Amino acid sequence: MNEDAVTRLNVERFNAVAGSWDENPVRVELAQAVARAIAEAVPSTAQTRAMEFGCGTGLVTALLAPGLGHVVAVDSAAGMLDVLRTKVRELGLDNVEPLEMDLAQSLPEGPFDLIFSGMTLHHIEDVPALLARLRGLLAPGGHVALADLEREDGTFHGDAPGIMHHGFDPSSVAGWLAEAGFDEVHTRRVHVVRKTGSDDRPREYPVFLADARRAAGR
């Protein structure tokens, strides 16, 4: 399946579930853990210009935005962004800018001091190519912070459409970051999702964070 087809499947799926997305406590707990891990791993100030890609309803963005200067929250699913826009109004997050965009087709205007995502990489076919593009959006010395599943057996998503990877080996992601021109690369486990897998058995799915810096002189 090519990346355009995957994108269409993802957009259809996420538009369909956008209204109830935040009602899942497992999902909310995961977002809280990811946001906490990013805040601990990456320096930021009230002047930090950030971008989240695959922001969904903004569960992670809403937690990090109060400590940042400006956040461009990117997603390709209009339904998810509609939920985020409501959240922005209700929470008074005036520094959050929702943006409907497919990063495979175009890129927002940088540079950014921080680019982050939670549970998005497994939807991306060519992750190393994306990392190289993200590096080009960062200001010198800027950081990426990317959270996703450690490698699993496919039971996390089951037969859900638009899944390109059943998690990752964190060391592989670290290697891709280094090859893309990042330094100070770190990975660590930040959460364990506990839920029933597609095989109807209780499961534990570790989640890792990979963070890295664009070297100031590169």
Residue 197 within any structural domain of the chain: yes
Total structural domains within the chain: 1
Residue 173 forms part of a structural domain: yes
In a domain, 74, yes or no: yes
What is the predicted pLDDT for the residue at 20?
Answer: 72
pLDDT at 142: 96
| Residue 218 covered by a domain | no
| pLDDT tens per residue, range 25-54 | 999 999 999 999 999 999 899 999 999 999
* 113 lies in some domain: yes
- Look at strands 49-53 and 112-118 and give their pairing: parallel
What's the rounded Cα separation, in Å, for the pair 196 and 174? 29
pLDDT for 176-201, tens place per residue?
999 999 999 999 999 999 999 999 99
Q: Domain range for residue 61?
A: 3-213
**What's the full length of the chain, in residues?**
218
Q: CA 12, CA 14: separation in Å to the nearest integer? A: 6
**CATH code of the domain containing 197:** 3.40.50.150
Low-confidence ranges of the chain (pLDDT < 50): none
Task: Give the model's pLDDT for residue 215.
Answer: 80
Q: Are 138 and 115 in contact (CB under 8 A)?
A: yes
